């Protein structure tokens, strides 16, 4: 029987529309789900909406709707948001589902019968936003620490869950199971809550105050506290207690949440399970918060970013990549559109996209569009294979620990390695020498095979990209996710496979850049921008230019990130270069250099010229090259220099 994996997200309140915070948890769950599928696990992925409680009633009233009609509308927004980002849960649960209500009622009755629910009078400061009572010492100037609203003292008779009875058991359980709550900082946070006496949990609301909830089976004057109701979704969605899904998947439960709901998941939930005689979940995986300009994202602050808008603007996999790569799981991260664009351009367009299109273009050009038969291999090929084997190990380890950003970093080391391998092996040079035909075939094969494996490793993260890459390498994509064994099997790409060059995997996002103000050099030099500057005629020193004239030129080292021919031009090559910032440069070097061999080179450019248009493309810098009247040779710094280094 296959091993099993059960991954859940929080069920989201329907008082707000889906935003990037919800997206992140759900995306992580989808990636983990696909990853374990690729390892051959039987998996289950559940998300949904949390629909009862006062907050939802208030939001519904604002729209002039009754609570159920309102919840139906917003729940649908969540359900429809996920497939748009290629997030595919097996179950979308709603707390208004009849089956869920039945399970909550059953568990309440069971805990009540065992004596762990009692009736008592209670007074406290109630926050509707948090749906809970606060004790005096938790308030900040009389206000809720989260919602900053003044709280009023409410006194009422309610039902309580005897949570305190399980405090010692929980401390012991967390101590014995060191990764029950992870990363460690959140485990410590829970242990620190538990170092104070735990109060019993108020689990009812009188119907005189709130009717939108699940009626207590033992007292119909009350509805259930929304958290006692919501947490049970993780069981009811599996058909607890009788369904085979429950007995199969519950022991493998992995909850994903953000730090905001650590206490209900780290304390209420395990004690509720214990009281109901159910085994605890396997792990609680806690991530940090996405912030926008120093504030957390919330509907009330009005700074919500809709996942759908991001997808429409940048594409599914670019958005998936950004979120998975940018956040260190467990810590807070900052969202900005500039950050997103930077990642798309640097990692996806320039690195992955370029490596892929350079490889396929060269196979098309030098091997008739068919994956060649590799010849003898050398140390460089072994190094590439080792890099891949290490990456596969790391991806597996890191994903299992939820360090998705690290898994992606490791994958990008391979892509970097492949780009460097292209530069070092220079297939365009091998192609000029018939004696090197064997070597050329080996190099092209190794590149294509590396990209096949990269695609397989990437599949749980960026499924569409992986599918495109494999299809264009002439392979089949095994939906929903290719099996992991195929990754480690080097040489899985059959020679003779027809490749399809196709469009760029990730088009670069052009951003209007401020060109730094600088003293423009003389007009005629500007016109010569894309060409090598004309050799100056030797001038006697006494009549030469003052040094200040030379200092007006801002010469910099730049790295070529990507290069392509300008359509319909024999000479012009358009390059994206990094000189500390990214710019476009157009140069007339196309008769002496191919775009492929330019990528990765360090060149010298004049950085402070006015931009000029060449065959419709704006050139924002000028490359230096020597010209003997017949051929050009570009000027390069000797040895490594960081992009942006000044040349003087
Ligand atoms: N309904 C409860 C959860 C019940 S689970 C049994 C709830 N809902 S919520 O709509 O407020 O969602 C909170 C969760 O949404 C967070 O734990 C996290 O998964 C996600 N996020 C919402 N905003 C977020 C950020 N700004 N950053 C990261 N994730 C956040 O609490």
User: Could you report the per-residue pLDDT of 165-203, keeping only the tens digit for each?
Assistant: 999 999 999 999 999 999 999 999 999 999 999 999 999
If one counts every other C-beta atom within 10 angstroms of the C-beta of residue 334, the result is 13
Cα(412) to ligand 1 centroid in Å equals: 30
Per-residue pLDDT at 296: 56
Tens-digit pLDDT profile for residues 571-628: 999 999 988 778 899 999 999 999 989 988 999 999 988 888 888 888 999 999 998 8
Task: Please count the CA atoms within 13 angstroms of the CA of 561 that sit on its side-chain side.
Answer: 21
Residue whose CA is at the smallest distance from ligand 1 atom 18? 258
22 is catalytic: yes
Average pLDDT of every residue of the chain: 90
Per-residue pLDDT at 513: 54
Residue whose CA is at the smallest distance from ligand 1 atom 13? 12
Q: In 333-475, where does DSSP find H-type helix?
A: 337-343, 354-366, 379-400, 404-425, 427-430, 437-458, 463-472
Residues 428, 443: Cα–Cα separation, whole Å? 11
- Under the banding of pLDDT at 50, 70 and 90, the label for residue 298 is low
Residue 297 pLDDT greater than 70, yes or no: no
Residues 458, 256: Cα–Cα separation, whole Å? 21
Residues 640, 637: Cα–Cα separation, whole Å? 7
What mean pLDDT do residues 134-152 have?
88
Which residue in the list 299, 313, 513, 646 is annotated as catalytic? 299
Residue whose CA is at the smallest distance from ligand 1 atom 7? 12
- Under the banding of pLDDT at 50, 70 and 90, the label for residue 532 is very low
Take residue 352 and report the two structure tokens written for it: 């992955």
Q: For the chain, give the percent of residues with pLDDT over 70.
A: 93
3-state secondary structure of 429: helix
Do residues 212 and 131 make contact, with C-beta atoms less than 8 angstroms apart? Answer: no
Per-residue pLDDT at 300: 56
Residue 529 pLDDT greater than 70, yes or no: no
Residues 374, 166: Cα–Cα separation, whole Å? 64
Per-residue pLDDT at 59: 94
Residue 304 pLDDT greater than 70, yes or no: no
Give the residue from 335, 231, 327 showing the smallest Cα distance to 288: 327
Residue whose CA is at the smallest distance from ligand 1 atom 12? 12
> Picking from 423-432, 516-525, 547-556, which range would have the lowest pLDDT averaged per residue?
516-525
CB-defined site of ligand 1, < 6 Å: 10-13, 21-22, 24-25, 50, 230-231, 233, 257-258, 260-261, 289-290, 296-297
Cα(25) to ligand 1 centroid in Å equals: 8
Per-residue pLDDT at 147: 87
- Under the banding of pLDDT at 50, 70 and 90, the label for residue 478 is confident
Cα(437) to ligand 1 centroid in Å equals: 58
Which residue in the list 65, 130, 143, 259 is annotated as catalytic? 130
Give the residue from 218, 43, 14 showing the smallest Cα distance to 115: 218
What mean pLDDT do residues 267-285 have?
98
Which residue in the list 55, 127, 202, 274 is annotated as catalytic? 127
Instruction: Choose which residue among 7, 25, 103, 301 to substitute to test ligand 1 binding: the one with the highest number of ligand atoms within 8 A of its C-beta.
Output: 25
144 is catalytic: yes
Residues 477, 594: Cα–Cα separation, whole Å? 32
299 is catalytic: yes
Give the residue from 76, 56, 79 showing the smallest Cα distance to 66: 56
Do residues 490 and 61 make contact, with C-beta atoms less than 8 angstroms apart? Answer: no
What mean pLDDT do residues 321-333 have?
97
Length of the chain (residues): 648
In this structure, the strands spanning 283-287 and 253-258 are parallel
Cα(261) to ligand 1 centroid in Å equals: 7
What mean pLDDT do residues 345-358 have?
96
3-state secondary structure of 92: strand
Cα(130) to ligand 1 centroid in Å equals: 12
Atom in ligand 1 nearest the alpha carbon of residue 297: 26
Per-residue pLDDT at 533: 31
Per-residue pLDDT at 308: 93
Take residue 417 and report the two structure tokens written for it: 């390695």
Tens-digit pLDDT profile for residues 384-435: 999 999 999 999 999 999 999 999 999 999 999 999 999 999 999 999 999 9
Atom in ligand 1 nearest the alpha carbon of residue 25: 19
Per-residue pLDDT at 294: 54
Which residue in the list 65, 143, 147, 259 is annotated as catalytic? 147
Q: Dihedral, CA atoms, 598, 601, 604, 605, nearest 10 degrees?
A: 50
Tens-digit pLDDT profile for residues 204-227: 999 999 999 999 999 999 999 999
Tens-digit pLDDT profile for residues 224-238: 999 999 999 999 999
Per-residue pLDDT at 521: 39
Higher pLDDT residue, 488 or 110? 110
If one counts every other C-beta atom within 10 angstroms of the C-beta of residue 592, the result is 16
In this structure, the strands spanning 625-627 and 632-634 are antiparallel
Backbone CA torsion sign across 234, 240, 241, 244:
negative
Tens-digit pLDDT profile for residues 352-372: 999 999 999 999 999 999 999
Residue 303 pLDDT greater than 70, yes or no: no
Token pair 């997030």 is found at 87
Atom in ligand 1 nearest the alpha carbon of residue 291: 26
Cα(157) to ligand 1 centroid in Å equals: 30
Per-residue pLDDT at 488: 64
Return contacts of 183-187, CB within 8 angstroms, 24+ apart. 183/286, 183/329, 183/330, 183/402, 185/330, 186/259, 186/262, 186/266, 186/284, 186/286, 186/330
- Under the banding of pLDDT at 50, 70 and 90, the label for residue 11 is very high
Token pair 């806690």 is found at 286
């Amino acid at each position: 029987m296959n091993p099993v994996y059960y991954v859940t997200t929080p069920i989201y309140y329907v008082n707000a529309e889906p935003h990037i915070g919800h997206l992140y948890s759900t995306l992580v769950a989808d990636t983990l789900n696909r990853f374990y599928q690729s390892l051959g696990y039987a998996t289950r992925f559940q998300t949904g909406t949390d629909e009862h409680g006062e907050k939802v009633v208030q939001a519904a009233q604002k729209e002039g709707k009754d609570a159920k009609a309102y919840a139906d509308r917003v729940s649908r927004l969540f359900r429809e948001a996920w497939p748009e980002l290629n997030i595919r849960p097996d179950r979308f649960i709603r707390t208004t589902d009849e089956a869920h209500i039945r399970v909550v009622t059953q568990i309440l009755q069971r805990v009540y019968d065992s004596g762990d629910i009692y009736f008592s009078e209670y007074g406290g400061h109630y926050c509707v936003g948090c749906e809970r009572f606060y004790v005096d010492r938790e308030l900040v100037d009389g206000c809720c620490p989260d919602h900053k609203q003044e709280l009023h003292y409410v006194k009422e008779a309610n039902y309580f869950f005897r949570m305190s009875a399980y405090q010692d058991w929980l401390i012991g359980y967390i101590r014995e199971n060191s990764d029950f709550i992870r990363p460690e900082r959140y485990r410590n946070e829970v242990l620190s809550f538990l170092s104070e006496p735990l109060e019993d949990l108020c689990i009812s609301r009188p119907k005189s105050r709130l009717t939108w909830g699940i009626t207590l089976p033992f007292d119909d004057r009350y509805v259930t506290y929304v958290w006692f109701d919501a947490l049970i979704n993780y069981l009811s969605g599996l058909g607890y207690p009788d369904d085979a899904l429950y007995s199969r998947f519950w022991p493998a439960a992995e909850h994903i949440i953000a730090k905001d709901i650590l206490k209900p998941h780290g304390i209420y939930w395990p004690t509720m399970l214990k009281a109901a005689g159910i085994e605890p979940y396997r792990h609680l995986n806690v991530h940090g918060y996405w912030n926008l300009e120093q504030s957390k994202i919330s509907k009330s602050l009005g700074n919500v970013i809709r996942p759908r808008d991001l997808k429409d603007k940048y594409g599914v996999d670019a958005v998936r990549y950004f979120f998975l790569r940018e956040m260190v799981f467990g810590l807070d991260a900052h969202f900005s559109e500039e950050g997103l664009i930077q990642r798309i351009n640097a990692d996806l367009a320039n690195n992955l996209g370029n490596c892929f299109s350079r490889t396929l273009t060269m196979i098309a050009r030098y091997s008739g569009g068919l994956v060649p038969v590799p010849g003898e291999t050398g140390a460089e090929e072994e190094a590439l294979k080792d890099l891949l084997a290490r990456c596969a190990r790391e991806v597996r380890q890191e994903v299992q620990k939820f360090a998705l950003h690290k898994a992606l970093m490791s994958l990008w080391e391979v892509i970097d390695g492949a780009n460097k391998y292209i530069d070092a092996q220079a297939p365009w040079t091998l192609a000029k020498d018939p004696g090197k035909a064997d070597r050329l075939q080996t190099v092209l094969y190794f590149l294509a095979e590396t990209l096949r494996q990269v695609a397989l490793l990437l599949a749980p993260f960026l499924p569409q990209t992986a599918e495109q890459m494999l299809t264009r390498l002439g392979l089949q994509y095994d939906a929903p996710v290719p099996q992991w064994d195929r990754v480690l099997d080097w040489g899985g790409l059959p020679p003779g496979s027809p490749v399809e060059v196709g469009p760029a995997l990730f088009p670069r996002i052009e951003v209007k850049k401020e060109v730094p103000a600088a003293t423009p050099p003389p007009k005629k030099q500007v016109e010569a921008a894309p060409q090598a500057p004309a050799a100056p005629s030797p001038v006697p020193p006494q009549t030469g230019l003052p040094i200040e004239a030379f200092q007006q030129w801002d010469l910099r080292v730049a790295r070529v990130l990507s290069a392509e021919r300008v359509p319909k031009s024999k000479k012009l090559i358009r390059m994206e270069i990094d000189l500390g910032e990214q710019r476009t440069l157009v140069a007339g070097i196309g008769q002496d250099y191919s775009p492929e061999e330019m990528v990765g080179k360090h060149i010298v450019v004049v950085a402070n010229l006015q931009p000029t248009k060449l065959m419709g493309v704006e050139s924002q810098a000028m490359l230096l090259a020597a010209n003997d009247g017949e051929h050009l040779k570009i000027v390069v710094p000797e040895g490594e220099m960081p992009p942006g280094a000044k040349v003087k």
